[in-house]
Amino acid sequence: MVWKRKIAYINLTTGKIVSKPIPKEVRQLYLGGRGIDMYLLYNHVKAKVNPLGPDNVLLVGTGLLCGIPALGSGRCDIAAKSPITGGVGDSNVGGFFAPELRLAGFDHLVISGKAEKPVYLWINDGTIEVRDASNLWGEDTFETQDIIRDDNEDEEFKCLVIGVAGENLVRFANVRTGMKNSAGRTGMGCVMGSKNLKAIAARGTNDIEFSYPDELLDYCREMNKMIMETRWARAQSKWGTLIIYSNTNTTGLIRTRNFQSNRLDEGEDLEPENMDRYTIGMSGCYGCAVHCRHRYVLREGPYAPIFAEGPEYTSLGAFGTMVDCKKMETVLVANHLVNKYGLDTLETGGLIAWAMELYEKGIIDDKDTAGLRLEWGNEETLFELITQIAHRKEFGNLLADGFKTAISKIGKDSGYYAIQIKGMSSLHSDERPTPSLALNIATSTRGADHLRSRPAIDLYSLPEELLEEIYGAPVSSDYTSYEGKSRMVWWQERLYAVTDSIGTCKFQTVFCAVHAPKWEEFKKLIHLAAGMEFTKAQLMEVGERIYTIEKMFNQREGFSRKDDALPERYFKEPTPTGLPIVKGKKVDKDKFEKMLDEYYSLHGWDENGFPKKETLERLGLDKEPSHMV
């Protein structure tokens, strides 16, 4: 059965590999995927270790439902102490790796130590070997996967890889699989690089057993129907996440020129319909009916020919609005470059946009940039800087260390202009008019981030009866209001924690679609697939437990209320444009602090954001670290 599957402990220093079954108690408390990874993170990473040293531990986990033919069940969770924030590092990636790892017999990997020379993990039907990767070192993220498949004479090997950015210890290097899928955030590729681990390759032919296969099949079909009946999924099937741009840019919820405006003027070329010029079809992750990824081709122009997958809404911001580049083609080229080198799109774009603003303000000049002209909208500068960052050359080398180090090195008031929280860049969304989204990025355990708890449906101005039905208490339907928004964030946190732990896609739960599968459906899927019983309240408690153990990890690293903050500019500079409801908005400091108090009290955390004793007891976290696995 699903919950009987294995966890492998791999020490790259000694080469020792041990595998054990995952006890059912651990499943009951944390499900799988991110949940178990967060438990392992708290238990296996000691306080204050160097994130790039051998004592940091890299965790790879498949979700509890991994393998079911619905809801994009192939998500893989990758975690470690983050070299960007120094707190929870955790990133979730789709594609086909997780099911292959599960078919190979493993659900979780705990990778510690550091290899002497470049290696990759070879995992094949119950066997794990540490293999030489000297021929892979220096290769880009696409070639690395092809070479592994060629060397093994097996096209079906699925790989997690790093690119040159990870090898060069760029702090925000990511982990990639396939053409498009990236575990982008919190620098997990940097941790892999620090361990001399170039790739993890899996191939499996074992069965994945489910408790009630016939009923599960029927219910999976129902789930796919349910998600495809939402307008969000149908739009995504055609345009991908690019579709968000049309709405947010018109409203005025997009950062442009770093943080100078909240709408991109003359940004029509970035409208999703223009992808028609390049797209040759969509592609989907494992078990996904939606298929939101463009497969695109650039046939002409100085950077052609390019075949790639993407771009995401995030790419439009990172290489479009934030750096004031207004051409889809620029975004497509930059998207391909970061994917090839293995850099996080969002962090790369955020840092470059910040550097461009510093250049404009005269805080840095041509001497600092070695002559590179960091002008808004200059696509050649953009491409050059991406390449410099990945190879740690010239000015790019400074940015490659991320916001915290770059701010201290540049000094002056450079920190004021940085749109970062806990050291990590925020999405190109402008949260000044939307308190719920502002609270979400401020409190996210992994640093500024939209995927930890974003109540995106707040933007739909839904009827308050419906909102109350979803969130369980009154919530204002006005997205510029502060009323009830802490509850929204709290609810979404728990839902996303559970989604990441059963290993399904966030786009196929209540993220952007209101009538998508959530607690009741998850409950039934877990019953049919794993034979485990939960009530809705119990599942919500699992979400609470996962989020709280993340909070405990950060607390142990010295984080507190002061880190659950917004960049100063959110309170000082009003939005210059947008719809009347959005224009002239900044975050009200007092109301924000009140919202934060409410949020802590909903969690059962004290005014400093630390879990209270009774909360820990209620969640069974009072004896952590408990080392059950």
Which CB atom, from 63 or from 89, has the smaller least distance to other proteins?
63
Tokens of 91: 């990133």
Distance in Å, CB of 338 to other proteins, minimum: 17
- In this chain, which stretch among 160-168, 200-208, 428-436, 498-506 interacts with other proteins, using CB under 8 A? 200-208
Three-class SS state of 199: strand
Please identify, using beta-carbon distances, which residue of 10 and 226 lies nearer to other proteins.
Answer: 226
Asked if 127 interacts with other proteins (CB under 8 A), we say no
- Is residue 495 at the binding interface for other proteins, with CB under 8 A as the rule? no
| Residue 211 touching other proteins (CB under 8 A) | no
Task: Count other C-beta atoms under 10 Å from residue 56's C-beta.
Answer: 25
Least distance in Å: CB of 27 to other proteins?
18
**Which among 502, 492, 604, 501 has a CA at the least distance from the CA of 546?**
501
Q: How many Cβ atoms are within 10 Å of 535's Cβ, its own excluded? A: 10
Cβ-proximal residues to 183 (8 Å cutoff; 6+ apart), any chain: 76, 78, 91, 92, 93, 160, 174, 175, 176, 189
> Helices 328-341 and 345-361, interaxial angle, to 10°?
120
Check residue 213 for interaction with other proteins (CB under 8 A): yes
> Per the structure block, which two tokens stand in for 621?
């976290």
Residue nearer to other proteins on the CB measure, 92 or 440 = 92
Q: Give DSSP secondary structure letters for 463-518.
A: -HHHHHHHHSS---S-TT--TTHHHHHHHHHHHHHHHHHHT--GGGSTTT-TTS--
Burial 398-420 (b: 16+ CB within 10 A, else e): bbbbbbbebbeebeeebbebbbb
CB distance 417 to 361 below 8 Å: yes
Residue from 17, 49, 147, 282 in contact with other proteins (CB under 8 A): 282
Side-by-side strand order, sheet with 279-283: 279-283, 293-298, 306-309
Residue 266 within binding range of other proteins, rule CB under 8 A? no
The piece of 184-192, 290-298, 348-356, 606-614 that touches other proteins (CB under 8 A) is: 290-298
CB of 149 to other proteins, least distance (A): 9
C-alpha torsion angle, residues 19, 20, 21, 22 (rounded to 10): -100
Residues in region 133-152 near other proteins by CB under 8 A: 142, 145-146
581 token code pair: 């409801």
The residue within the footprint of other proteins, chosen from 283, 387, 481, 626 (CB under 8 A), is 283
Tell whether residue 96 is a contact of other proteins (CB under 8 A).
yes
Tell the smallest beta-carbon distance from residue 157 to other proteins (Å): 11
Verify binding: residue 172, other proteins, rule CB under 8 A.
no
Comparing CB distances to other proteins, the nearer of 206 and 535 is 206
Could you tell me the smallest distance in angstroms from the CB atom of residue 199 to other proteins? 15
Per-residue contact track with other proteins, 54 to 83, x per CB under 8 A?
Answer: -------------xxxx-------------
Q: Is 228 in the site for other proteins (CB under 8 A)?
A: yes
Q: How many residues bind other proteins (CB under 8 A)?
A: 43
Residue 170 engages other proteins in binding (rule: CB under 8 A): no
> Going by DSSP bridges, is the β-strand pair 181-183/175-177 parallel, antiparallel, or unpaired?
antiparallel
Closer CB to other proteins, 104 or 552, in the complex: 104
- 153 by Cβ neighbours in 10 Å (0-12 / 13-18 / 19+) ranks as exposed
If one asks whether residue 220 binds other proteins (CB under 8 A), the answer comes out as yes
Nearest approach in angstroms of CB 208 to other proteins is 4
Among 59, 197, 199, 285, the residue binding other proteins under the rule CB under 8 A is: 285
- From the list 204, 208, 207, the residue with the least C-alpha distance to 154 is 204
CA distance 312 to 86: 27
Least distance CB 364 / other proteins (angstroms): 38
Pick 228 or 370: Cβ nearer other proteins: 228
Q: How far is the CB of 521 from other proteins (least distance, A)?
A: 17
Residue type, 291: H
Q: Which is nearer to other proteins, 291 or 452 (CB)?
A: 291
Smallest separation, CB 497 to other proteins (Å): 25
Which residues form the interface with other proteins (CB under 8 A)?
67-70, 96, 99, 103, 142, 145-146, 155, 178-179, 205-210, 213-214, 216-217, 220-221, 224, 228, 237, 280-291, 295, 307, 309
